[in-house]
Amino acid sequence: MKRAATRGTRKGSFDRPQHDHARCIADALQSAGTVCAAQGVRLTEQRRRVLELVWQSHRPIGAYEILDQLTDGSGRRAAPPTVYRALDFLLEHGLIHRVESRNAFIGCSHPGTEHVVEIMLCTDCGRAAEIDDQRIDRAVRAVAAEIGFRIERQTIEIAGRCGHCQARPAHA
Amino acid sequence: MKRAATRGTRKGSFDRPQHDHARCIADALQSAGTVCAAQGVRLTEQRRRVLELVWQSHRPIGAYEILDQLTDGSGRRAAPPTVYRALDFLLEHGLIHRVESRNAFIGCSHPGTEHVVEIMLCTDCGRAAEIDDQRIDRAVRAVAAEIGFRIERQTIEIAGRCGHCQARPAHA
DNA sequence: AGTGTATTGTTATACTATATCAAGAACAAC
DNA sequence: GTTGTTCTTGATATAGTATAACAATACACT
Ligand SMILES: [Zn+2]
Ligand SMILES: [Zn+2]
Ligand SMILES: [Zn+2]
Ligand SMILES: [Zn+2]
């Protein structure tokens, strides 16, 4: 289960604003199915819907934003545990990532593969991009090794302005 | 105002558990006074007390933990805005850092100097250490430059087990 | 003392997340 | 297909984190 990782327009950087995002969503859902099948867990309808909502854009989305959109057919809003349980499942199986500095979530850009999560966040358009580069991780590991620190988890979130937004006046 | 940065036992790594922590606190309070004077802002008693509580250990402390210890002489607990305002002030003037992955705060180990905040968090003893090393920042900037991203703020929090804790059975 | 600004007090409320127990759906074995 | 088991969802309550808004006080400066 390595091949779904680099499909679509996802390339470890910020997509063009006009990219075919329906494709991003479709790819994410398909990969999720594959990952869950491989791990012998169930991608239930509820979980699939939450994943789809997370992927509705490249902006980190909060649990309660998801909640507001998660009506149960007859328009009744779900309760918090419903969405948090789905999010926990998706986190555990590497289908989404938590953005700590925002209390929000983004879809994982390379599900089914082991990787350190490194995220860039545009403060202008609000979008996030998962970085796919070994250098930061290598630097972190070098520093940790020197002071005898055994790494368990890395939270790397870089806020700033993406290339597309720099090419325009702010907040345009 | 560069010289207070490397005083005491603070060295960009985890202190020995038995270090002279009273010295850490004293140094932090003294540096804070210097920084505030240099910036022409007031380190009020309230702010000084909150800073002291943040520095009571090297473990990140939550706003409400501070609140619980912030009695107003006659034993009356302060209200949330009181502590959040003090924390905001201390953050703005670089005297503390927010640990995003924990919704908590630590004292800054080199106040009064420009620096990227990189934090290691021990999942065993719970302590935090601010790293003072250029390599991670250089790697981050190299990656950002390649994709045309202009960095504004970095959140780098590495969780794992510190050297002191690895030298003992877990949770000892 | 008088005026303007910065700080703190106070109350209410918003936002984020989890605990707990009950009900329902899926699955395996018989 | 029924039973027993496990996983998943529903529902209610509550915990934990953070801010809005406005009043009162303290401080700095003339
Ligand atoms: Zn897309
Ligand atoms: Zn990922
Ligand atoms: Zn110390
Ligand atoms: Zn610092």
B160 touches chain A (CB under 8 A): yes
Query: If one looks up domain B19-167 in CATH, what number appears?
Result: 1.10.10.10
Report the SS3 class of residue A141.
helix
**Residue A118's Cα: distance from chain center in Å?**
10
Residues A63, A84: contact at Cβ < 8 Å? yes
A170 Cβ under 8 Å from any chain B Cβ: no
Model pTM score? 0.91
Q: Supply φ then ψ for residue B158, to 5 degrees.
A: -110, 120
List pLDDT tens digits, range A44-79.
Answer: 999 999 999 999 999 999 999 999 999 876 777 899
Burial class (CB in 10 A: 0-12, 13-18, 19+), B18: exposed
- Find residues 134-153 of chain B whose CB sits inside 8 Å of chain A: 135-136, 138-140, 142-144, 147-153
**Percentage of chain A with pLDDT > 90?**
84
Q: Which nucleotide is nearest to B102 (CA to C1')?
A: D17
Q: Residue A133 pLDDT more than 50?
A: yes
C-alpha span between A107 and A127 (Å, rounded): 12
Tell me the pLDDT tens digit for each residue of B105-161. Answer: 999 999 999 999 999 999 999 999 999 899 999 999 999 999 999 999 999 999 999
Looking at every residue in chain B, the average pLDDT score rounds to 91
CB proximity B2 to A under 8 Å: no
Contact call for A140 and B155, based on CB within 8 A: no
